[in-house]
Structure 1
Amino acid sequence: MNLTAALAERIVHSQPDAAAHDAAREGVRDFLAVSWPVLQAQVPDSGLPALRSVYHDGSVRSQALLLGYASHALDYDDFHADFRGHPSVVILSALFAWQQQQPSTLDDFLDAYAIGVEVAGRLGLAVSQQHYALGNHNTATLGTLAAAAALARLLVLDVAATATLMGIATTQASGLRAQFGSAVKPLHAGFAAERAITSAQLTLAGFDGKQEGVIEAFIAATSNDQSQPGKLIENWAVPWRIVAPGLEFKPFPTCAGTHSAAEAARILRQQWLASGETLDALLENISDISVAFPPGGDIAASVRVPTNGIEARFSLEYTIAAMLMYDDLRLQDFAEGDLNQAVMPLAAKVRRTPDETAPPDAINPALRFHLVTLSLKNGTQLQHRRTRQQSLADGVNVTAKLRAALRQETAQRQQQLLACAELRSPADLASLSQLLRVQ
């Protein structure tokens, strides 16, 4: 089987349905919510100004890179379980950058986004958990291919050109988890969007590239012997990946691998306060905090002792302590710059205790859980187990998240942004595309 060509056939000929379009609109609203504070310099961020000094030509490639970085800079953007990464920051950055200079129809835009997420999720399944475990950052690697697929659909390329585009993108796909905790991690999203744009431009210019064997080689080279390449195309769009398992929207500006641990801590805090005790009494009497999870369940949340706010996003210790103290994971405690030192003494009491009786996380991350145990000085233990599925079931109010992101804008400006983020008309798409232009 020519897997590259088979994938190209599906990119070109499949048709996302109304449910996929509705899910795409929700994804766009979340994208605006997570990118706007960085684009408007409403939060500390030295990365975007530095990038703008280098990528200042206003080209579609530069716009894709800058928007990709800005939308991933807070680590507050959506996640996809099959993809094991953040699809929208790459796909939408490429699509909006192209849209700013060569407008398409609204339906074509939504189709392209849904196709991009479909490819992202299927690539994640095809490369298996080994791809991530080997040190690759899926948002950077697989995201390059997903954004390329979205652009191929947006540009209404034929199967041969789509296969060429995908092959050019695939040979550029790279990005290492070793950069987590630095500004290069969100830049990965920008690099991936830029590479997708470049691949599309080369294809349109008639540049020659292999139309077979490229994606197959990529999967084999980056997954050891655990890849399942057939999952890239089998049962395509049944259902659309943007619908099920769907995009997961973040309630906190931290690594998704910390969320159920933080929520378990929040529940313990709330139970303590509901008993009539004070928060000070809880914090003063904690002698030890343990957090259990499936073996390997902390692969992304790998930072044990953070040294800055960005590293804190990837620390189970810091997020558990911050939640116990503040009943939230506040953006200011995970922004660029110094740590909130008030959190560190409590974070130092947190111990990781992997549950060796649980199936390894790599087998099925959907079964991940965190069991948080607070041991008090009087010998009492407070314990709560929170699963990833429970976290997802609670959901996130994306419109409320967007309103919070726009709170520094005037009432009139808020209404304008909220209205065009609904994407109900071509005018909405045109307005939003220009509002997202990085100046």
Structure 2
Amino acid sequence: MTLSQQLAARIVALSYEDLPTTAIDNAKTVILDTLGCALAGAGEPVVDTLMATPGMAISGECSVLGRCERLDLLSAALINGCAAHALDFDDVNTAMGGHPSAPLLAGLLPLAEELDSSGAELLTSFIAGFETEARLARAVNFYHYDLGWHPTATLGVFGAAAACAKLLQLNASQAATALSLCVSLASGVKANFGTMAKPFHVGHAARHGVMAALMARQGFSASLDAFEHRQGFFNVFNGEGNYQADRVLEDWAAPLDIVMPGIGIKLYPCCDSTHASIDAVRLLQGEQAFDVADVERVVVTIHPLRLTHVDRPVLRSATDAKFSVQYCIARTLLEGKIDFDSFTQHAYEHEAATSLMAKVETRPHAHKAPTPEGNYLTELCILLRDGTQRFKRLDRPLGRHAEQPAPTAMIRAKFDRCAAYAVSPETGNRLHDTVMGLETLVRVSELTALMRGDE
């Protein structure tokens, strides 16, 4: 059997009864988090621009997150995915080096609405997609990531297809075809980070995942050896000798990736590769207060895999600021926090921020080998005018592992802040409670109605 066939057999075989409580609870948490991010991102310029682009938002019957328009299934997946990633605030996954939930949920929700699926069916499909993209990531990363591919899109498309295949109740042969089709649909490069193209990657992956599953259901064909073929996914995207295909099926679901290492909730609305630096500044500020006016220089040392896309000493836009470790450090020093207001034009162009950014020096960490912990290793040294130093070393940001999860109160506060951009506090509370009881929901359409802001 080919890899597509073996992978499909496992996806099809997964049942709700197989899922441990931790997997269900974690899935509900990241679904809630992703919904909040999408509600907050639904009115962003990137979404408005897509909505206004001919052919990108075709009218239909499917709900769209945080918006009143109704679109066809594929358009809804595209717009939902773009909205969920517009603020770069959605959850992350260590193996992927990217964002697992947005490409899954963006297409699953309108598909579940069309199929009149239950909450339990949605959860099972979501977890199947999560496991699929995370296991494929173990085979190709971090070489895939370092080459410049955007794993949220290039791997997320397979997760989206797996999730939709599960929800559509495709057989193993059809699911294998959907995965093989996605080999030709995977795309997205990191050169476009800091622009509208990055969230578009996610919407694109969601749309293509849904489309591949629908095409497979209709009898469309694809080469079932599209992963391992000499000119297939592994060799084309990574190059011969730069992947470990056997890791895809190794210990499949034992445990599920969503259980261990678990989910990664972002606590700041900016690039994940800046978060350890932000945490380091905040921890130092809490341990021993110092005046920002006394900062002479800041030296931050980051793994080169991450430094590549966050070393941005000159900002071109508010979006660019989200990918600048220099700016994120400067803004945290100034305000002790990072939130949505940190990335307004007024904030990133403010003289205090730009002058402090000039004091931040970035260095690649000497430990260049990729690590299973996600290459988050960060060292921050703040040199003060009196000659003293403040130093902090972090192996990863807060909230990135089952052993150090994000506090529940912070997750809820983040959701409430995000949801408030699109729905009333009352609807936000109902949405929270509905997601937290998703396994008991008879119809997902009850959830999508709330996401439109319907009372």
- The alignment's TM-score, normalised by the length of structure 1, stands at 0.91
> Does the 8 Å contact 2:264/2:405 carry over to 1?
no
Mapping 1:87-236, distance limit 5 Å: 87-214=100-227, 217-224=232-239, 225-236=241-252
- Range 63-72 or range 334-343, more displaced: 334-343
Q: 3-state DSSP class of the match of 1:372?
A: strand
Q: Deviations over 1:336-386 (max 9, x none)?
A: 787342311101100012332xx3152444353222111122222222222
Runs of 4+ in 1 over 4 A off after TM superposition: 335-338
Per-residue deviation at 1:296? 3.4
Q: Deviations over 1:304-363 (max 9, x none)?
A: 32222111111111111111111111212225787342311101100012332xx31524
- Range 238-247 or range 400-409, more displaced: 400-409
Per-residue deviation at 1:213? 3.6
Q: Deviations over 1:194-231 (max 9, x none)?
A: 11111122112222222234465202211122200011
- The change in CA–CA distance for 1:37 and 1:98 in structure 2 (over 3 A counts) is same
- The change in CA–CA distance for 1:336 and 1:203 in structure 2 (over 3 A counts) is farther
> Does the 8 Å contact 1:182/1:310 carry over to 2?
yes
Q: 1:425 aligns to what?
A: 440
Per-residue deviation at 1:302? 3.7
Per-residue deviation at 1:428? 6.5
Q: 3-state DSSP class of the match of 1:79?
A: coil
Q: 2:361 aligns to what?
A: 351
Q: 3-state DSSP class of the match of 2:381?
A: strand
CA–CA distance in structure 2, aligned partners of residues 61 and 437 of structure 1: 18
Residue type of the alignment partner of 2:385: K
Instruction: Confirm or deny that 1:26 pairs with 2:29.
Output: yes
Q: 3-state DSSP class of the match of 2:117?
A: coil
Instruction: Confirm or deny that 1:17 pairs with 2:19.
Output: yes
The number of residue pairs the alignment matches comes to: 426
CA–CA distance in structure 2, aligned partners of residues 140 and 286 of structure 1: 39
- The change in CA–CA distance for 1:437 and 1:159 in structure 2 (over 3 A counts) is farther
Residue type of the alignment partner of 2:255: P
> Does the 8 Å contact 1:9/1:159 carry over to 2?
yes
Equivalent of residue 383 in structure 2, options 370, 375, 385? 375
Q: 2:45 aligns to what?
A: 46
> Does the 8 Å contact 1:260/1:391 carry over to 2?
no
Q: 3-state DSSP class of the match of 2:394?
A: strand
> Does the 8 Å contact 2:377/2:394 carry over to 1?
yes
Structure 2 unmatched ranges of 5 or more: 59-70
- The change in CA–CA distance for 1:390 and 1:194 in structure 2 (over 3 A counts) is closer
> Does the 8 Å contact 2:97/2:374 carry over to 1?
no
Instruction: Confirm or deny that 1:324 pairs with 2:333.
Output: yes
Per-residue deviation at 1:51? 0.9
Q: 1:309 aligns to what?
A: 318
Aligned-residue RMSD, C-alpha: 2.2
Equivalent of residue 429 in structure 2, options 415, 420, 425? 415
- The change in CA–CA distance for 1:150 and 1:305 in structure 2 (over 3 A counts) is same
Equivalent of residue 296 in structure 1, options 305, 309, 313? 305
Residue type of the alignment partner of 1:261: S
CA–CA distance in structure 1, aligned partners of residues 385 and 425 of structure 2: 50
Per-residue deviation at 1:391? 5.4
> Does the 8 Å contact 2:112/2:167 carry over to 1?
no
- The alignment's TM-score, normalised by the length of structure 2, stands at 0.88
Q: 3-state DSSP class of the match of 1:373?
A: strand
Q: 3-state DSSP class of the match of 1:190?
A: helix
- Range 420-429 or range 110-119, more displaced: 420-429
CA–CA distance in structure 2, aligned partners of residues 146 and 51 of structure 1: 23
Instruction: Confirm or deny that 1:5 pairs with 2:2.
Output: no
CA–CA distance in structure 1, aligned partners of residues 173 and 427 of structure 2: 44
Per-residue deviation at 1:3? 1.1
- The change in CA–CA distance for 1:96 and 1:337 in structure 2 (over 3 A counts) is farther
CA–CA distance in structure 1, aligned partners of residues 243 and 224 of structure 2: 21
Per-residue deviation at 1:437? 5.6
Instruction: Confirm or deny that 1:395 pairs with 2:406.
Output: yes
Instruction: Confirm or deny that 1:406 pairs with 2:423.
Output: no
Instruction: Confirm or deny that 1:251 pairs with 2:251.
Output: no
Q: 3-state DSSP class of the match of 1:81?
A: coil
Per-residue deviation at 1:93? 0.5
Report sequence identity in percent.
Answer: 28
- Range 164-173 or range 288-297, more displaced: 288-297
- Range 338-347 or range 18-27, more displaced: 338-347
Per-residue deviation at 1:433? 2.2
Q: 1:384 aligns to what?
A: 392
Structure 1 unmatched ranges of 5 or more: none
Q: 3-state DSSP class of the match of 1:245?
A: coil
- The change in CA–CA distance for 1:37 and 1:337 in structure 2 (over 3 A counts) is farther
Residue type of the alignment partner of 1:51: L
- The change in CA–CA distance for 1:383 and 1:239 in structure 2 (over 3 A counts) is same
